[in-house]
Amino acid sequence: AGSRAVLIETYAGLHEAACLTNVQTEVLLGEGARVEHYKLQQEGDKAFHIADTGVYLPARARYRSHVIDAGGRLVRNEIRVRLDGAGSECVLNGLYLLGARQHVDNHTVIDHLAPEGTSREYYKGVLEGHSRSVFSGKVIVHPGARYTDALQANHNLLLSENAEADIRPQLEIYADDVKCAHGATVGRLDPDALYYLKSRAIDEDAARSLLIYAFANDVLDRLPLEPVRAYLERTLTARLLHGRKVEELI
Query: For 148-194, what is each residue's pLDDT tens digit?
Result: 999 999 999 999 999 999 999 999 999 999 999 999 999 999 999 98
Q: Whole-model pTM?
A: 0.93
Q: Answer whether residue 68 shows pLDDT above 90.
A: yes
Q: Answer whether residue 244 shows pLDDT above 70.
A: no
Lowest-pLDDT choice from 12-26, 82-96, 127-141, 179-193: 12-26
196 against 119, higher pLDDT: 119
Q: Answer whether residue 205 shows pLDDT above 70.
A: yes
Mean of pLDDT values over 101-109? 98
Mean of pLDDT values over 41-46? 93
Q: Answer whether residue 116 shows pLDDT above 60.
A: yes
Mean of pLDDT values over 37-61? 96
* Residue 49 contacts residue 41 (beta carbons within 8 Å): yes
* Rounded percentage of the chain residues whose pLDDT exceeds 70: 96
Mean pLDDT of the chain: 93
Q: Answer whether residue 218 shows pLDDT above 60.
A: yes
